[in-house]
């Protein structure tokens, strides 16, 4: 979400063991500092509390806000982070990858051609397979290959803070992010899934489609939530399977479509064309989506 004209939007995330009074303390602090709450969402899973809050400020004292939230974090014994959506600043996009290059290649090509207006200051991989692609265009690549997911996510969180990331793009990233991670970036993580969700979930969607004789194969770009592959859908594309198609031809067509669909979702996000209400994505008027 981009900053409203003449205002600064902040996003506050709170994560920690569930306890009473957290929502009241945070919202009262925002009001006392002249903020207007735009959105708020909270959830508790297995005793872990997560809250996301967006607030707008006509004027803002960042040091005062940061110091106050640090004090609240100590008082509540919870992790509290704030992200500023400053006006007129290019957004910073982190791309997460594993071994498949097609989505990363499409995004880097789009950045080079000016098809998306954003900074890509970092690529984060579950291994080093795609490091040469990032090196070629001068983007820092960090491999986070810890076996323990909590350890891996802690390292990734540090990198996200270091590069002041606004949007996370999962470009065929083959690790499942935990609620502890996802809650920190509500509607700021975009994933591409190789099927028309909710059909054929999981990593072997094309194999399932081929083996079951699917007549239509597609892909889905969606926001990531704590429920695996169930987040709000941004865009979907599909193609018909012909008699002559093999698993290899289906996969090739599908990967090309994945890359294009993910790019389209990222573009819509960066151009502030997306709004999420009650778990559904609404696309604002966009000439390129009118076909």
- Which residues are tagged catalytic? 229
Instruction: Please report which residue ranges of the chain form alpha helices under DSSP H.
Output: 22-32, 62-76, 102-113, 131-136, 149-162, 179-182, 205-211, 247-270
The whole-angstrom distance between residue 152's C-alpha and the CA centroid of its chain comes to 17
Contact status, residue 122 vs residue 159, Cβ threshold 8 Å: yes
The residue to which tokens 């690529």 are assigned: 123
Pick the closest to residue 41 from 33, 31, 50 (CA basis): 50
How far apart are the C-alpha atoms of 57 and 40, rounded to whole Å?
16
Q: Going by C-beta distance under 8 Å and a sequence separation of 6 or more, which residues neighbour residue 133?
A: 101, 104, 105, 108, 123
Q: By C-alpha distance, which of 241, 196, 255, 203 is closest to 221?
A: 196
Which residue shows structure tokens 């803070």?
Answer: 161
Distance CA 28, CA 164 (A): 26
**Could you tell me the strand order of the sheet in which 48-57 lies?**
36-45, 48-57, 8-17, 79-85
């Amino acid at each position: 979400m981009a900053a409203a004209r003449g205002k600064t939007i902040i996003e506050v995330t709170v994560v920690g063991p569930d306890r009473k009074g957290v929502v009241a303390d945070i919202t009262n602090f925002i009001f006392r500092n002249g903020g207007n709450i735009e959105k708020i969402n909270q959830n508790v899973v297995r005793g872990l509390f997560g809250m996301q809050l967006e607030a707008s400020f006509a004027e803002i004292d960042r040091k005062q806000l940061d110091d106050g939230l640090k004090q609240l974090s100590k008082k509540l014994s919870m992790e509290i982070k704030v992200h500023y959506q400053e006006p007129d600043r290019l957004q910073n996009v982190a791309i997460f990858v594993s071994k498949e290059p097609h989505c990363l290649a499409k995004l880097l090509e789009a950045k080079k051609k000016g098809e998306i207006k954003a900074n890509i200051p970092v690529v984060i991989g579950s291994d080093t397979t795609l490091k040469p692609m990032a090196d070629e265009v001068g983007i820092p690549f960090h491999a986070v290959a810890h076996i323990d997911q909590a350890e891996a996510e802690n390292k990734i969180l540090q990198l996200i803070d270091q590069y002041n990331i606004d949007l996370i793009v999962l470009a065929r990233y083959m690790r499942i992010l935990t609620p502890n991670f996802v809650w920190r970036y509500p509607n700021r993580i975009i994933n591409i899934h190789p099927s028309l969700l909710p059909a054929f979930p999981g990593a072997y969607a094309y194999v399932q489609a081929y083996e079951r004789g699917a007549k239509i194969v597609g892909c889905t770009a969606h926001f990531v939530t704590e429920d695996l592959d169930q987040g709000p859908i941004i865009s979907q594309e599909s193609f018909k399977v012909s008699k002559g198609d093999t698993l290899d031809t289906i996969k090739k067509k599908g990967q090309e479509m994945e890359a294009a669909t993910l790019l389209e979702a990222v573009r819509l996000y960066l151009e502030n064309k997306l709004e999420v209400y009650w778990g559904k994505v609404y696309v604002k008027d966009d000439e390129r989506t009118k076909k």
